[in-house]
Amino acid sequence: MNIDFNRRLSIAPMLDCTDRHERYFLRLLSKHILLYSEMVTTNALLHTDPDQFLRHQEFEYPAVLQLGGSNPADLAKCSKMVEESGFQEVNLNCGCPSDRVQNGNFGACLMKDKNLVADCFKAMQDAVSIPVSIKCRIGVDELDSWEFFRDFIGTIADAGCRVFIVHARKAWLKGLSPKENREVPPLNYDTVHRLKAEMPQLNISINGGIKTLDQTLELLQDLDGVMVGREAYENPWFLRDADERIFNDASAAKPESRKALLEAYLPYVEMEAARGTPATILVRHLYGLFNGKPGARKYRQYLGENAPKTKSPAELIRRAMDLVTEP
């Protein structure tokens, strides 16, 4: 399906968060944001039930599937599967520092082998006609100089890659948990700005610590895109004005209120529940919607306590939202 999209604002790949239900939900808030999947490993795609990872709806578009792997032939096969299933882009994870990922020799540790990443990129791009993008950090372990980062990006750009998403902090592969690796190494936006200034032909998105549309607009003065992770998951409502403010589309429909947004999500919940998707899976992305509003705690508690036992998740969501006083 031919979909026109740009990368001015994208939602980060987040394991256990950006599954197809979350992507459907976020799409109700913005027509234009680019939605990334959770990371899917090539082993999972090639050796288990691929439909489990590739299944989605056209309503989620524009959407990207992120792959984790380091074997060029496997990545090529998986990229083809991603393209055939309909996604608009395939992304290679070079930024995740978890032990599990390091044991598989992919994620952030790939930053130590720029030639392998270039080979992976080439194999992927040769296999598909959709864009292949790279998500990386600004460095890894003691390899954190500007020269290291420039050579890493330059080598992959020489292989033909045009789209990079840079989490603007380095990763420590030993000693920090994945969570700490999203908080402890300091953010360094300057490195990403410098990359764009020195390689203006590349499409560069910045990621890490971005929480508002104002901040997004400011960063877009110099950069091609902004990627938001945790804030979009924990406080999705701020995305409601994204089409108008970030994509200059004032005519795009947007929900009138948080409750109207949930109402719009309910038919999907009913359809998925009828297919056997557990209520816990369907409601788990909704906890942050009323953050800061009176009754938000009761709403979260009600969802959390009752989701494991309900037979009707749509009814559960209706009851939970009645506990919040504001619309």
Ligand X SMILES: Cc1cc2nc3c(=O)[nH]c(=O)nc-3n(C[C@H](O)[C@H](O)[C@H](O)COP(=O)(O)O)c2cc1C
CB nearer to ligand X: give 195 or 321.
Answer: 195
* Token pair for 121: 């990129």
Of 72 and 185, the one with the shorter C-beta distance to ligand X is 185
Return d(Cα 288, Cα 322) in angstroms, integer.
Answer: 16
Euclidean distance between CA atoms 164 and 195, whole angstroms? 10
Q: Could you confirm whether 96 is annotated as catalytic? A: yes
Complex with ligand X: residue 66 or 71, whichever CB lies closer: 66
- Mention every residue, 6+ apart, whose C-beta is less than 8 A from residue 237: 29, 258, 261, 289, 291
Residue numbers at the binding site for ligand X (CB under 6 A): 12-17, 38-39, 66, 93, 95-96, 135, 167, 182, 207-210, 228-231
* Relative orientation angle of helices 114-127 and 146-158, to the nearest 10 degrees: 30
| 3-class secondary-structure state, position 163 | strand
Measured from the CB atom, the residue of 14 and 282 that comes closer to ligand X is: 14
Active-site position among 17, 78, 94, 96:
96
* Chain mean position to CA 296: 25
CA-nearest of 251, 250, 260, 203 to 227 is 203
Compute CA distances 6 → 33, 72, 222, 274, whole Å.
8, 27, 15, 35
- The CB-nearest residue to ligand X is 229
Q: What is the DSSP string of 194-231?
A: HHHHH-TTSEEEEESS---HHHHHHHTTT-SEEEE-HH
Tokens of 197: 């200034």
Active site positions, annotated = 96
